Amino acid sequence: MFCGEEMENKEYLQIVGDLLENRKFNKLKQEKHHHNSNRFNHCVDVSYMTYNVCKKLKLDYESATKAALLHDFFFDDEFKNKRKRMLSHPETAIKNAKKITTLSSKEESIIVSHMYPIGGKMPKNIESIVVDVVDDYVSLKEKLGGDLKSLKAAVNFLFVLTINVLLR
């Protein structure tokens, strides 16, 4: 959650500090997300976990961290109904993100595939898979609450399996 460890991580703040202070992005604090969270905190949690995982794996953690922060940059009133929101919010997040920053093609690709396989496009790079898995993990944690050790182990297993398949 924002105002935790990430606030003291200078490198993390160098990557996304300006976005965290952006007025429009801060409006996500008023958007409910997965019952127990708001969308701002959700995006920060996904982004900070992505930062740690990608850095550890020596991936392009700067692109992944920024894209992860912006992956759910949308507002409920931008959609007619829940189904439309679920299917098209990645594109809306990209559109909204481009109003406050520039996005590389890789960052766009990470955002557009974060709902795969439920919706969104298929991930094109390993950073996209990390954001997709981390988003699922954070979302489940928000829905169920608490510190889910067995879930974490399951996600870790899935993650390692994915990487092994990709690096074959």
Binding site for Fe ion (CB under 5 A): 72, 135
Closer CB to Fe ion, 81 or 168, in the complex: 81
Closer CB to Fe ion, 63 or 92, in the complex: 92
CB of 71 to Fe ion, least distance (A): 6
Q: Name the helix (H) or strand (E) containing 33.
A: strand 32-33
Closer CB to Fe ion, 3 or 118, in the complex: 118
Neighbouring-strand partners of residue 32? 38
SS3 for 38? strand
Cα–Cα dist 1/18, whole Å: 17
CB of 165 to Fe ion, least distance (A): 23
End-to-end CA, the chain? 35
Cα–Cα dist 58/79, whole Å: 37
Cα–Cα dist 139/157, whole Å: 18
Closer CB to Fe ion, 14 or 30, in the complex: 30
CB of 74 to Fe ion, least distance (A): 8
CB of 32 to Fe ion, least distance (A): 13
